[in-house]
Amino acid sequence: MLSVALTACKKQEEPARAPVAKQAPAPAAEPGQADEQPKPPVKQELPPLFRDIERRTFQFFWDTSNEVNGLTPDRYPSRPFASIASVGYALTAYPIGIENGWVSRTQAVDRTLTTLKFFRQLPQGPQREGKGGYHGFYYHFLDMRDGHRYDSWVELSSIDTALLMMGVLFAQSYYDRDDPREKEIRELAEQLYRRVEWPWLQVNKPLISMGWFPESGFIPHDWMGYNEAMLLYILAMGSPTYPVSPDAWQVWTRTYNDFWGVYQGQEYLTFGPHFGHQYSHVWIDFRGIQDDYMRERGIDYFENSRRATYAQRNYAIENPMKWKDYGENIWGLTASDGPQQTLQDYEGEQRTFRHYSARGAGFRENFDDGTIAPTAAIASLPFAPEIVIPATEEMHNRFGEYLYSSYGFLDSFNRSFDYDIPLKTGRLVPDNGWVSSDYIGIDQGPILAMITNYRNEFVWNVMKENPHIRRGLERAGFKGGWLTPPGEPVELSPADPDAAAARALGTAESRGTSSPPPRPQPQN
């Protein structure tokens, strides 16, 4: 499972798609116009269920990570290999555990030191076997015991290295005491971040490639469009040793316009699978800070994710594919487990189902096979608590008997899938469809961190103290909000139609000379 766009680079399949959504609003809106946009979120008291979710989700990281080397499994209980992205979320989870009294600071320091020391000493090099990384990047999946590349289909991953580094820098900023071991954590974190050679993956400058294989070289797809790679570019620009130039952000955002429009009554920058609207927000507080693109539109990326969350819910209410139980409190499409790669008859027509895959609804990258992932809703809590809280409670109340267990919500479920065929993963529950049998680290991490951010902004506030994150944001052109120098007024810039028109012209001209490559589908 690739944590995002590229999981295991096996053979690529032609994605089966949900009906392509037209760039038009939901029926309630006038043609070509968005519904009235949701008002800013209002803080609500969380019901007791959320405290239980937090504790159980934290225990996933604490219990399943290898105590000897700090590696965290990609999934559990079927834990064949470690995911470096899961390690990034685990490093973020440990301080949350400290703050809630679930582990002592000493325990968390021990585990964090073990993890960082292990990554520092992992052998790196161009060889196909026996190495954990190359040029400061790490392989997406590692052997849980020795940390070497797990198999020949595993890529050296730019985005998963970035997710790992977010956890590394979070640890650097959190463990700030004048203590020899906490000082060592800070030093190790600095070493790991400084040795990532981000420009090495700029095959088509200034964009960054998705990764590299020792067998075939660089992956021919760059990070383009709008997705979770915001955090990748911010980290790459913030590097004190191997930075990419600021024009990387300008070229990256130049591909946005294909994804801006009105969908399900919301006007926003779209990306179908909801993880693209969540991952960067786990560590970075985008409220009130804007780059050039968002300044032109008079909103910020946080508001964009809020609108995307409402669009997800609106899609489930409309339920164009007539899946069972979709509705105002049962929604959430993202990258998740599914029952099986198969073609089955559903309500008189052939439907494609998948096992692990990106699922979503938007202008592009649409795929919906009836599989709901609780993380898509729960990790959107800061964006839209008024719709996330009731969705979380209803999924727990209605399906918790078989969906909610030792480490919180299992990865996903599909109420419409009841076919008597061999399953890739999970099980069929009589009269209740399919339910996943695994927890997945990159889905667990956002649940824990975003509930924490909603409660007290803990992860966000810690990361605001990290100079590398601030440097990356500033080089990308972010201003306002918490980036505003002391004494200057803090305010969001209104939309700039003239700048937007100029950008649209430049984008149109750039399309005349190049076209973006297709984005690989996640596979497992």
Q: CA-CA distances (angstroms) from residue 462 to 181, 234, 434, 469, 510?
A: 19, 17, 39, 11, 39
> For residue 339, which of 222, 258, 423, 405 has the smallest C-alpha distance?
423
Confidence of residue 488 (pLDDT cuts 50, 70, 90): confident
pLDDT of residue 21: 36
466-476: average pLDDT: 98
Structural domain including 177 reads 48-484
CB-count exposure of residue 380 (10 Å: 0-12, 13-18, 19+):
buried
Lowest mean pLDDT among 2-16, 45-59, 177-191, 307-321: 2-16
Bridge-based pairing of strands 433-435 and 357-358 is unpaired
- Give the model confidence (pLDDT) of 252-300 as tens digits: 999 898 899 999 999 999 999 999 999 999 999 999 999 999 999 999 9
In a domain, 41, yes or no: no
Helix residue ranges, H only, 132-246:
158-174, 180-194, 230-238
How far apart CA 341 and CA 55 sit, in angstroms, is 33
Q: What is the pTM of this model?
A: 0.90
Per-residue pLDDT at 486: 83
Burial 465-496 (b: 16+ CB within 10 A, else e): ebebbbbbbbbbbbbbbebeeeeeeeebbeee
* Residue 182: per-residue pLDDT: 98
Q: Name which of 62-66, 78-82, 306-310, 514-518 the model is least confident about.
A: 514-518
CATH of residue 258: 1.50.10.140
Q: Confirm whether 364 is domain-assigned.
A: yes
Per-residue pLDDT at 30: 40
Lowest-confidence region among 26-40, 162-176, 278-292, 404-418: 26-40
Place 5 in a pLDDT band, splitting at 50, 70 and 90.
Answer: very low
Q: Would you say residue 512 lies in a domain?
A: no
> Is 434 domain-assigned?
yes
**Residue 406: count of CB within 10 angstroms of its CB:** 12
Average pLDDT over residues 24-31: 36
Write out the two tokens for 307. Answer: 């609108």
* Cα R_g (the chain), whole angstroms: 22
pLDDT surpasses 90 at 517: no
**Average pLDDT over every residue of 399-426:** 97
10 Å Cβ neighbour count for 265?
Answer: 23
Containing H/E element for 317? helix 301-318
In this prediction, what percent of the chain has a pLDDT beyond 90?
82
**Could you tell me which of 222, 84, 218, 214 has the C-alpha nearest to residue 147?**
84
Domain count for the chain, please give it: 1
Question: pLDDT tens, 322-360?
Answer: 999 999 999 999 999 999 999 999 999 999 999 999 999
The pLDDT score that the predictor gives to residue 200 is 98
Three-state secondary-structure class, residue 251: helix
Query: Would you say residue 282 lies in a domain?
Result: yes
d(CA 448, CA 89): 9
* pLDDT confidence tier of residue 28, bands split at 50, 70 and 90: very low
Average pLDDT, the chain: 89
23 pLDDT more than 50: no
Q: What percent of the chain has pLDDT over 70?
A: 86
The confidence score (pLDDT) of residue 232 equals 98
pLDDT at residue 501, rounded to an integer: 54
Q: Is residue 346 helix, strand or coil?
A: strand
Flag whether 388 is in a domain: yes
Residue 182 lies in a domain: yes
Summarize pLDDT for 97-146 with one digit per residue, the tens: 999 999 999 999 999 999 999 999 999 999 999 999 999 999 999 999 99
Does residue 10 lie in a domain region?
no
Mean pLDDT along residues 18-30? 36
